[in-house]
């Protein structure tokens, strides 16, 4: 399982070189940092550069509760000015990384009637007073995001994908999840800021729940959001698409960028511990880059069906939370719906403490780095130094990565003393250690259930090793082997990645053994996943017929038009099939064949995206198949692929895939035909319609077709590379992901194009 970098012998495996830093002995403790004495000349930073933002995707919540008021946050309650936040100002004016408001369809403040003094003030009375304000909230879609911020609260973003039903009672599901994650009174990260995102519940018979998918996709594309927590689902045996299947390519990109996404492991599905099960097969929790959270009872037992397999667990019953009818009232919350935001909050608070420990501007999410240091000598700041107990702690190089923090979260968890035997319905002693790895993953956190002192003691198991103040706890025997097998299984189902316990070519799988029957069953169940040898390999050819031409209908400007071909140089076909998505006839889910029989019969398919109907071409295209760019040409004749090298973006192109012409003689063992197999894109999908490219055939889009352009109005004369990137979002399964880019060098001069 995964997402953090596993430890060996109690130490994190090396991720990067750690430079020697100047000595600095101050490390962050649970008590606030002391402010400068009165009259001191040294200015003090505020806390905006250390802020942590948690997104909760759920039904409505009640922002009037003291759990969400800025005045009730720990930063406002202490005497330390260095952690204060300007929460009455628009977040784009102070929160590092917050996007330009012009990118939203609308960006507005909602001034609410807040009561910071009367603990018995009725929530419903405040909400009724603001009825006209709430009526102004517009519903967001995938194409248009309406973002609101609530001055005087910790809510720096609110997006409603549901339909003007974001505000609700204190007993609403979303009120529970958000309060245990970031609530001032009940949350495991009371210092964290909140982005609350609503979605619209969908009927069970609907094959697509667009609002939930759109909500999650939007959140995953926001690098200013540090943590996402999700606790929703249908209690059925079918968990993909009916369970709001999400974009796993965007998930992986978000995780590798540094965002951490938490999902509940099953919401109480008791399907007798079969593996792989609905948890592994769901497009949310299944992939190796998602943190899956299970639930344990307040007494320490495991719930039948919850947490299988999980990365970590927390309390699934009678947890202190928001509730009642007043601005300060409390209640309880339960289920993996509670466990997930509790763990997400603990991760968020650890990130907050790490950013506070690193001097200077620490807020970042780029290339996996989620905190760094920028000490300012003018402010008498010095670089961070780990505690003496663990001088090579994760912060020793002045950086913190998401895998490092996930490892600390996982390795601070402790298994409960009692669990359930597989298929059991009553508490019985655990038969083997591996059953707890199945139920609880690395272990459980009870957080605020038993009071503040117990919660802070658990937190210290995460934070103290991170800061070098303690050694990590010893991990249970067999845990690492279990996690390697689980990571292997998830990657077989979804696709490989480099951030898990299992790494292709680096790990030896633990052997099958009767002593570990569940682990063996998991391994055997996943052994029939895709094989790299049975996949295609997309290779884009250099763009040709590049020249100035008319822009596409509906666009204007100077168009650089290009023809492109993409060849399949693997031994097996790139074959995509379409299945209807909901009740629409214009959008279809797309599945790729990843395993073949000798008679060219597909044996296994994996979801990879969507087909959409092209209004001009009058047939279906696979979305985001290629991307066109114009980039600066470096002196060595190659394109500058850095952000500064992009001269013009042609956007992503959707293709109808077919065998346009033969690329090379085919050495494939089951494809040797001299004629095309994938012949046409005409007509609509009916059941399982097929598109594809045979081995050593290629698909070609000529420059006259819609979409074959890059608008270059603002590009000065000079030497450039016309670049094509095949499968830019890495949706398709291939044998080689390193050969998906090609280019043609050109010179722009006086409105003409010359190929170099």
Q: Do residues 155 and 149 touch, judged by C-beta distance below 8 A?
A: yes
Residues 288 and 286: their CA atoms lie apart, in Å, by 6
| 130 to 110, 111, 113, 127, 322: CA distances (angstroms) | 10, 9, 7, 5, 21
Residue 158, H or E segment: strand 155-160
Among candidate residues 289, 286, 246, 241, the one with its CA nearest the CA of residue 266: 286
Angle, helix 402-410 to helix 452-467, in steps of 10 degrees: 130
- Produce one character per residue of 504-533: b if its CB has 16 or more CB atoms within 10 Å, e if not: eeebeebeeeeebebbbbbbebbeebbeee
3-state secondary structure 89-155: CCHHHCCCCCCCHHHCCEEEECCCCCCCCCCCCEHHHHHHHCHHHHCCCCCCCCCCCEEEECCCECE
Q: What is the predicted pLDDT for the residue at 517?
A: 82
Phi, psi of 176 (to 5 degrees): -70, -50
Residues 6 or more apart whose CB falls under 8 angstroms from that of 37 comprise none
Q: What is the predicted pLDDT for the residue at 276?
A: 55
| 461 to 140, 449, 545: CA distances (angstroms) | 40, 17, 62
**DSSP SS3 for 82:** helix
Residues 6 or more apart whose CB falls under 8 angstroms from that of 443 comprise 312, 313, 410, 413, 414, 415, 416
* Lookup: tokens for 185: 């009174």
Termini Cα distance of the chain:
49
Among candidate residues 411, 195, 200, 189, the one with its CA nearest the CA of residue 312: 411
Q: What is the predicted pLDDT for the residue at 718?
A: 95
DSSP assignment string, 420-465: --TT-SS-B--SSHHHHHHHHTT-EE-GGGG-HHHHHHHHHHHHHH
**DSSP SS3 for 666:** coil
DSSP assignment string, 316-374: -SSEEEE-SSBTT-EEEE-SHHHHHHHHHHHHHHHHHHHHHHS-S--EEEETTEEEE--
Residues 378 and 137: their CA atoms lie apart, in Å, by 45
Among candidate residues 549, 543, 547, 548, the one with its CA nearest the CA of residue 563: 543
Among candidate residues 480, 477, 486, the one with its CA nearest the CA of residue 432: 477
Cis preceding linkage at 348, omega within 30: no
pLDDT mean by block of 10 residues, the chain; 756 residues: 36 28 29 33 71 94 96 95 95 96 96 97 95 92 93 97 77 91 98 91 49 84 96 50 61 94 69 54 80 86 59 92 94 91 98 96 95 91 95 96 96 80 43 75 95 96 98 94 90 81 83 83 68 82 95 91 94 84 64 78 79 74 92 94 91 87 81 73 54 91 91 94 94 89 95 92
Q: Do residues 250 and 217 touch, judged by C-beta distance below 8 A?
A: yes
- Kindly report the length of the chain: 756
**DSSP SS3 for 199:** coil
pLDDT digits (tens, 9 = 90+) for 650-684: 988 888 898 888 888 878 766 666 677 888 775 44
Q: Is the pTM of this model over 0.85?
A: no
Q: Do residues 594 and 607 touch, judged by C-beta distance below 8 A?
A: no
Question: Which residues are 467's β-sheet partners?
Answer: none
The tokens 């309060």 sit on which residue?
179
The tokens 């999980």 sit on which residue?
310
Q: Do residues 573 and 677 touch, judged by C-beta distance below 8 A?
A: yes
| 627 to 610, 634, 707: CA distances (angstroms) | 16, 20, 10
**DSSP SS3 for 279:** helix
The tokens 């996404």 sit on which residue?
261
Q: Do residues 261 and 253 touch, judged by C-beta distance below 8 A?
A: no
Phi-psi region of 727 (alpha: psi -120 to 50; beta: other; left: phi over 0): left
Residue 650, H or E segment: strand 646-655
Q: What is the predicted pLDDT for the residue at 393?
A: 97
């Amino acid at each position: 399982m995964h997402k953090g970098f596993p430890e060996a012998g109690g130490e994190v495996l090396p991720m990067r070189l750690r430079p020697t830093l100047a000595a600095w002995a101050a490390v962050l403790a649970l008590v606030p940092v002391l402010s400068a004495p009165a009259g001191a000349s040294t200015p003090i930073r505020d806390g905006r550069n250390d802020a942590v933002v948690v997104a909760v995707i759920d039904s409505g919540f009640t922002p009037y509760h003291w759990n969400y008021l800025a005045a009730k946050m720990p930063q406002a309650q202490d005497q330390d000015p260095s952690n204060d936040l300007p929460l009455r100002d628009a977040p784009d004016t102070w929160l590092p990384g917050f996007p330009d408001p012009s990118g939203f369809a609308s960006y507005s403040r909602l001034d609410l009637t807040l009561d910071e003094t009367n603990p018995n003030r009725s929530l419903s009375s405040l909400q009724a007073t603001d009825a006209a304000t709430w009526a102004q909230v517009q519903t967001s879609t995938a194409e248009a995001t309406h973002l609101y911020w609530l001055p005087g609260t910790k809510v720096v973003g609110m997006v409603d994908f549901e339909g003007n039903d974001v505000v609700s009672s204190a007993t609403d599901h979303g009120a529970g999840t958000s309060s245990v994650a970031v609530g001032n009174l009940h949350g495991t990260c009371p210092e964290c800021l909140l982005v609350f995102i609503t979605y619209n519940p969908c009927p069970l018979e609907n094959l697509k729940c667009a609002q939930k998918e759109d909500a999650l996709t939007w959140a995953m594309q926001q690098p200013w959001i540090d943590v996402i927590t999700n606790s929703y689902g249908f209690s059925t045996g079918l968990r993909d698409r009916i369970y709001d299947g999400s974009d796993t390519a965007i998930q992986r990109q978000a995780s590798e960028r540094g965002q951490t996404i938490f999902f509940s492991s099953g919401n109480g599905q008791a399907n007798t511990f079969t593996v792989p099960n609905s948890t592994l097969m769901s497009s949310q929790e299944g992939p190796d880059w998602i943190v899956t959270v299970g639930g344990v009872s307040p007494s320490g037992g495991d719930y039948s069906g919850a947490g299988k397999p999980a990365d970590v667990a927390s309390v699934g019953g009678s947890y202190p939370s928001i509730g009642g009818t007043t601005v300060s009232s409390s209640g309880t919350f339960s289920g993996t719906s509670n466990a997930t935001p509790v763990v997400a909050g603990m991760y968020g608070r650890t990130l907050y403490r790490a950013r506070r420990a690193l001097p200077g501007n620490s807020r970042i999410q780029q290339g996996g780095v989620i905190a760094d240091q920028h000490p300012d000598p003018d402010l008498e700041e010095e670089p961070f130094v780990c505690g003496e107990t663990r001088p090579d702690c994760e912060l020793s190089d002045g950086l913190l990565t998401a895998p490092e923090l996930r490892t600390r979260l996982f390795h601070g968890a402790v298994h409960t003393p009692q669990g359930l035997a597989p298929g059991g319905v009553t508490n019985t002693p655990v038969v083997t250690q591996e059953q707890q790895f199945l139920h609880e993953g690395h272990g459980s956190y009870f957080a605020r259930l038993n009071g503040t002192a117990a919660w802070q003691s658990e937190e210290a198991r995460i934070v103290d090793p991170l800061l070098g103040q303690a050694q990590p706890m010893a991990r249970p025997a067999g845990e690492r082997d279990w996690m390697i097998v689980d990571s292997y299984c998830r990657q077989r189902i979804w696709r490989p990645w480099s951030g898990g316990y299992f790494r292709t070519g680096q790990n030896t799988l633990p052997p099958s053994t009767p002593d570990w029957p569940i682990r063996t069953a998991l391994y055997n169940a996943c052994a029939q996943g895709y094989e790299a040898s049975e996949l295609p390999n997309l290779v884009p050819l250099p763009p040709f017929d590049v020249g100035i031409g008319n822009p596409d209908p509906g666009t204007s400007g100077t168009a650089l038009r290009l023809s492109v071909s993409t060849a399949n140089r693997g031994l097996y076909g790139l074959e995509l099939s379409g299945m209807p998505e909901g009740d629409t006839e214009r959008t279809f889910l797309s599945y790729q064949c990843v395993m073949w029989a000798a008679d060219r019969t597909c044996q296994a398919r994996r979801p990879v995206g969507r087909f959409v109907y092209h209004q001009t071409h009058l047939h279906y295209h696979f979305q985001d198949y290629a991307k066109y760019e114009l980039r600066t040409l470096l002196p060595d004749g190659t394109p500058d692929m850095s952000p500064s090298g992009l001269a013009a973006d042609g956007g992503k192109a959707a293709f109808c895939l077919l065998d346009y012409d033969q690329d090379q003689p085919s050495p494939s063992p089951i494809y040797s035909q001299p004629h095309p197999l994938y012949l046409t894109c005409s007509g609509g999908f009916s059941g399982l319609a097929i598109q594809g490219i045979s081995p050593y055939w290629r698909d070609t889009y000529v420059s006259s077709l819609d979409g074959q352009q890059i608008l270059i109005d603002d590009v000065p004369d000079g030497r450039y590379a016309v670049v094509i990137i095949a499968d830019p979002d890495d949706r398709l399964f291939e044998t080689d992901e390193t050969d998906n880019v090609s280019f043609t060098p050109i010179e722009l001069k006086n409105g003409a194009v010359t190929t170099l």
